[in-house]
Structure formats: C-alpha cells, structure tokens
Amino acid sequence: MKLSKSFVPTLKETPNEAVVTSHILMLRAGMIRMLSAGIYSFLPLGYRVIRKISEIIREEMNAIGGQEFHFPGLNPKEIWEQTGRVEAFGDTLFHVKNREYVLAPTHEEIVASTAKNHIQSYKDLPQIWYQIQTKYRNETRPRSGVIRGRQFLMKDAYTLDATTEGLDKGYMLHDQAYRNIFDKCGIDYFVVGASSGAMGGAGSEEFMIKSDAGEDTVAHCTKCGYAANLEVAISKIDSKLRDDKSEEVKEISTPNVKSIDELCEFLKIDETQCAKSRVYIADEKPVLVLMLGNDEVNEVKLQKEFGGNVRPAHPEELIEITGAEAGSIGPVKYQGRIIADNRLKDANNLYSGANKNDFHLGGIDLKRDVKGIEYFDLRFVSSGERCPNCNNKLDVFTAIELGHIFKLGTKYSEALGATFLDEDGNEKPIIMGSYGIGVERVMACYIEQHNDENGIIWNKTLTPFQVHLMGLNMKNEDVANTSDSIYEKLISENIEVLYDDRIDAQAGYKFKEADLLGMPIQVIVGNKKLNENKVELKLRATGERMDVDIDELISKVQELLK
C-alpha cells in the first residue's frame, strides 16, 4: 500500500478525548476514529489488524470443530422476553423504536432458537457454533476507546451438548483454543477461575491482562498462577492470636476518635489490637460486622453469606440500632446478630467502640463478652499477602477481560424450548456453553502491552504490514526508482508492505511516523547508502539497525519474518 494514496490520518499530538495508551496510539496511528461516544470507525490500517486477529480466532475455532455462522444483530424482542433478559440487561439493551426489536448484545437466545427448530435428537449433538460479529451494548461509561464500545466485534461461540460430560469436553476445547489464540497474538494473559480438571470444575474462566485501564481488580500469583477477582480472592494471612490472659473490660473516653488509625494514635496501640465495627442491613435486619484493624468489609463475600440484598446501615439507623454513631460502635452488649472475619476468631484483649459516642472499650474477649458470634471470610485481600496455594506474594492490580468461557447449562434452552430426544426417547433441554472474545479489545490490549514513547510495536503476526518501506528523498530519481523496485519485489514475494512514497514529507517526519505506526521491519532507502548499493534496515522492537546489500534485501526480510 502506498502512503501517498492511502487514508492514514496520523496525529502528532495526543487527542483530548483519550487517556488510555492504546486509545491514544490507535487514534494517533490513524487506525480508528470516534463517531460518537463508544462508537468507532476502523480505518484501513486498523481494520487490517482486526482481520488478522479474526483469522487467528477462526483457525483455532475451526481446529476444535467450530462451524462459523453469521446470526442477525437485529432481533425480535419477543425472544429476549422469553428468557427474561430484556429486564436483566435493562438499559444496556438497545431497543429499536419503530418496531419490537432489540439490537443483540450477545447471542444465546438466537442460538437456542435456531437449535430449537433444527436439533431433534442426541444424534445431532454435539455442536460448536461460532461467529465473529457486531454486538450492541449501551454501556454507561464508554471510555478507554475500543476497550469498551457501545458497538463492538465479538467472537462468540456456543456449545450444544446432550450430556454434562459433553459440555465439559467442549469447555476444555475452548479453554485450549483461547490459550492458543492469545499466545499467537503475543499477549501476556492470565486466567481467573479454576482451570484444573473439567469434571465438576469451575463453571467459568476469564482471560485477562494486567492494565491500569482495567475495570476489574484481581489478585494474582505469578508463581503458581492463582488468580481471582478481588471480590472473591483469598490469601494466607495471620489471625490475631489469643493472649494467655484476658483483661477486664474497661471503658475509655476517646473524644473525637473515629477511625481505627485515630484510635491507634490516641491509645498508642497497633491496629491488630482493634476490632472495627460496621452495621449492615441484610433482609431488613441489622447485622454487626467485625473486622480486624483496618481490614475492609468485602460486600460481595458478605452478600454470599446472606444470599444477596445487603447494604450498609444509614447514619440514622446506626443510632437507632446501636445508640451510637459510626466510629463508636462495638460488639459488647450489642443486641442482635454479630458476624466477624476469620482473623478475629476467638480473639481477646481487643479495643472496639462502646456503643456510646466518644467512648471505646478495651479488654474485649470475643469468647467471653460476645455471645453467638459467627465467623466467615469477609475481607479484601491486599498486595503482598501470601498466595493461598503456594505461599508466594500476591499482587493486586486492575485488569481487563479479553475473553470469557462459561458453562451455561440449560437456562436458555429451557426458556426457549430447545430440546432433544435422548437415546431412550426422553425429551431433554440441550446443555449449552458460551464463549466470548472481544476482537477490538484484543487489539487494544496488545497495544497496551507493546508500545514505547514513540508508538506501537507490532509483532509479525498482528502487524498491519510486515515491512514499512521509506524512500527518504523521493525527488532523487535513484532513490525513487530503487524504492519502487524494492516495493514491487516485496509484493511479488507476498510480503505485506506499506510504502512511504510521499514526495513532500521530510525524512525526520517519515522516521517518526514509521515508529508511531510500528511495523516490525523498516526498510530505509537513502542517497548515501545507495551509493554503496545498500539500504538500511531497522527493527522496530529493538531499534537495531543494519546495512543490507540491495540484492540480499528480500532474503534478509524473509529470514527476519520467519
């Protein structure tokens, strides 16, 4: 492709709308443009990468027996009502105004409807159906460029099985296909969710990358691969040890002392001598939650114990329930249910609120002074704590989800009547799995991981073009002719080449742009080297430069691309 005739609108400056590295670089490299919030056009250079990622996905999906479909994006709303997902998606679902249609945010419904009409017997199963197709979601915070779009390309796959063993098998095939896909793309990923043994194993796994642009927080162990969303992550951490002797409960005046840090400062004690108290309302009943020191209550873990519907008590409620304001609440003589984090199990000689404003109690023995206390894991893990599997230090960071594999079961087939007859002639719902990868997100995540201050650094697999050829002074006939003939030769050898043949652009500008666009091999044709019958070759990734005889250029490029 000749740059003189191409639409590659590069930008020198960082566009105002972008903060995330991949977003900035995709805009600056002329790969995408925003049409409206969360809606992007892919320009020729960017779309070449999308096609390459799609091809890698196709190869791996076809290798596990996937059949490529193209389901419609415009769906009758009725089908979505049958599964209850018009409600479940809520505002995220795009509705088409003039008809009872919705724009599909995913395709479980359409797959199940298709199966309903055409799968009859166990002999028709298993099936792996996939597509690479546009999805529509009215995301509330579309930011970070194509990482979270309102319209985006997803590879979505669905397994249809007669047995749970079949589902396990399909799931494991996708697990391996996903690893192959992300490896081939050159992405450094990790997997959240247990991946060991399919039978009875986890029902879902997320493939993620570490990134400041991420919206999920995860705990990860680089040694053994343990990874979990912070909402459910666990660690090995010391509990408070029970002292040999319990002191007497004593009331202490603590004027204006609210937080654990203030209490520690005031009493000259360590945070691990304190029990922090929080009141929650679970199913309209108050619960006092005790945490050791500054440990934060993990509301997802709390919700797990109570089956959902848990919220912090409002300030007015606090006074009514405990007689004190936040900062002075504690377990002794508290009327009602008390639960505590495992780190506090049977601890004594603790400090906590006195349920009286501006007073705390010391010498609390949870065994002696607090009846019926229940213990659970209720805390958030933090960086540096020990991995629950291998004792290595855990890292806590934000991450982006690239892909998701999920054992759905029969939810959609039951709702839509997608059944089959088993060997004994019994009618059963088809067992489904669903498997997604965000194609644009893969591209953005690759860029998040492969860039420097000058621009993008493509690998041989995803790069829009393998070679970036530059004729430096195209007014010079020698340079122009040699560059032209190198261009032709590269093309005849099936090497993808972007040719900067522009006459007016300065050498410095061409160099900068080549680094911004990031093709792996740059071939530079200039006056001086031509006199020795040589051109210069630069590797984008390392900055390494070499002079190559023009006659040997093609074989050198081929060798580098191997």
**Distance between CA 220 and CA 191 in Å, rounded?**
9
- How distant, in Å, are the alpha carbons of 11, 44, 402 from that of 33? 11, 11, 22
Considering CB under 6 A, how many residues would be counted as binding ligand ATP?
A: 16
Asked if residues 523 and 540 have their Cβ atoms less than 8 Å apart, the reply is no
Residue with CB nearest ligand ATP? Answer: 438
* Residue among 339, 353, 287, 294 at smallest CA distance from 317: 287
Q: Single out the residue of 30, 126, 149, 330 in contact with ligand ATP (rule: CB under 6 A).
A: 149
Residues 6+ apart with CB under 8 A from 355: 322, 323, 324, 328, 329, 330, 332, 333, 334
* Residue among 357, 385, 516, 432 at smallest CA distance from 164: 432
Q: Which of residues 98-117 bind ligand ATP (CB under 6 A)?
A: 106
Structure tokens at 322: 């405990």
Structure tokens at 492: 């005849």
| Residue whose entry in the numeric block shows the structure tokens 């479980």 | 108
Q: Is 68 in the site for ligand ATP (CB under 6 A)?
A: no
Q: How far is the CB of 146 from ligand ATP (least distance, A)?
A: 6
- The length of the chain is 562
Q: Is 441 in the site for ligand ATP (CB under 6 A)?
A: yes
Q: Is 341 in the site for ligand ATP (CB under 6 A)?
A: no
CA atoms within 13 Å, Cβ hemisphere of 375: 12
Q: How far is the CB of 91 from ligand ATP (least distance, A)?
A: 14
Other beta carbons within 10 angstroms of residue 405's beta carbon come to: 28
Q: Which of residues 158-177 bind ligand ATP (CB under 6 A)?
A: none
**Distance between CA 172 and CA 184 in Å, rounded?**
18
Nearer to ligand ATP, 404 or 510 (CB): 404
Nearer to ligand ATP, 234 or 400 (CB): 400
Q: Single out the residue of 68, 81, 124, 139 in contact with ligand ATP (rule: CB under 6 A).
A: 139
Write the binding mask 385 to 424 for ligand ATP: x where contact by CB under 6 A, - elsewhere. Answer: ----------------xxxx--------------------
Q: Is 436 in the site for ligand ATP (CB under 6 A)?
A: yes
| Residue whose entry in the numeric block shows the structure tokens 């990790």 | 190
The one segment of 145-153, 194-202, 291-299, 461-469 that binds ligand ATP by CB under 6 A: 145-153
Q: How far is the CB of 518 from ligand ATP (least distance, A)?
A: 22
Q: How far is the CB of 470 from ligand ATP (least distance, A)?
A: 34
The one segment of 147-155, 318-326, 421-429, 470-478 that binds ligand ATP by CB under 6 A: 147-155
The one segment of 250-258, 297-305, 431-439, 522-530 that binds ligand ATP by CB under 6 A: 431-439
Q: Which of residues 181-200 bind ligand ATP (CB under 6 A)?
A: none
* Residue among 224, 194, 188 at smallest CA distance from 208: 188
Q: How far is the CB of 474 from ligand ATP (least distance, A)?
A: 40
Structure tokens at 529: 């080297």
Asked if residues 41 and 103 have their Cβ atoms less than 8 Å apart, the reply is no
**Distance between CA 491 and CA 475 in Å, rounded?**
23
The one segment of 144-152, 170-178, 181-189, 324-332 that binds ligand ATP by CB under 6 A: 144-152
Asked if residues 351 and 245 have their Cβ atoms less than 8 Å apart, the reply is no
For 351-495, where are the alpha helices, taking DSSP H only?
Answer: 366-369, 411-416, 439-449, 477-492
User: Exposed, middle or buried, 71 (CB in 10 Å: 0-12/13-18/19+)?
Assistant: middle
Q: Which of residues 7-26 bind ligand ATP (CB under 6 A)?
A: none
Q: How far is the CB of 84 from ligand ATP (least distance, A)?
A: 16
Q: Is 154 in the site for ligand ATP (CB under 6 A)?
A: yes
Nearer to ligand ATP, 154 or 292 (CB): 154
Residues near ligand ATP (CB under 6 A) are 106, 137, 139, 148-149, 152, 154, 401-404, 436-438, 440-441
